[in-house]
Amino acid sequence: MDCKACRNHRLSVLSGNSADEILLNHPEILPEGEIPKDKPGAYFIKGGIETVAKIISEYPGTDRIFPTAPVHVSAGVIAEIAGFIPDPSGAEEIIKKLPQNLVTGRNGAEIYCSLNPDKACLKNCPEPPVCPVTKERRETPLWSMLDELLRESDQRAERPFIRVIQSRQYGPGLGYIAAADIKSAINSAESHNKLWIATACKCHGVVTALKRTPTE
């Protein structure tokens, strides 16, 4: 994420644990995990996935999440709240369902996908109908493509719960996840033991396989 895009849209965002990326009006810096429930304003809250999960769980006013760290925020928050852990064996199943030219890499239970794997994208791309780099028309956005591919021809008795969350564009170069989409996925995931969670914009995405945390 290019934080210049955040400046252009006058937003303050959480970026990992770095307090150097406070972008607007120098918001108050709060201790890790502290949530200002009764004090409206702009804040920089230190923390990672656990902190984001706490905010979503305890602060109903949460509307949008602007990921600026290289982690799969949707899957991490869903796993933290609903009680799941990464499932590398599930990622093996996912790989078999995806075209090789769509997959750009893998890290354990995470699989990275792109419709533009070979060239650098524009820093502040507005997601036009025709890709400004490849000149290809994006008839089907990646989030829709992944949803269809992951659900294709699966006749198992216990299929994983599949949810593809759209990374929506706030403005050129700046995407966000609707907190309502994550909350909906959490509610639906409670009755399942395996999850395939994806987050994708029109051209890039990540899929993570999760399994229920073993009970002791």
Q: Where are the domains of the chain?
A: 3-212
pTM (2 d.p.): 0.82
Token pair listed for 166: 């759209």
pLDDT score for 31? 65
pLDDT score for 175? 85
pLDDT score for 3? 45
pLDDT score for 170? 83
Q: Could you give phi then psi for residue 104, rounded to 5 degrees?
A: -110, -10
* DSSP per-residue letters across 76-97: HHHHHHHTEEE-HHHHHHHHHH
From 75, 45, 76, select the one nearest 62 (Cα to Cα): 45
Question: What average pLDDT does the chain have?
Answer: 81
Tell me: the pLDDT tens digits for 13-61? Answer: 443 443 334 444 455 666 665 666 666 666 667 778 888 888 888 877 7
Give the residue with greater pLDDT, 144 vs 40. Answer: 144
**81 confidence band (pLDDT: 50, 70, 90):** very high
Q: Kindly state the helix (H) or strand (E) to which residue 205 belongs, with its residue range.
A: strand 204-212
pLDDT score for 194? 93
List b or e across 194-204, with b for residues whose CB sees 16 or more CB atoms inside 10 angstroms.
bbbbbbbbbbb
97-108 mean pLDDT: 93
pLDDT score for 14? 41
Contact (CB, 8 A) for 12 and 27: yes
101-108 mean pLDDT: 93
Token pair listed for 14: 């959480």
∠143-148-154 over CA atoms, to 5°? 140
From 194, 201, 186, 173, select the one nearest 62 (Cα to Cα): 186
pLDDT score for 156? 61
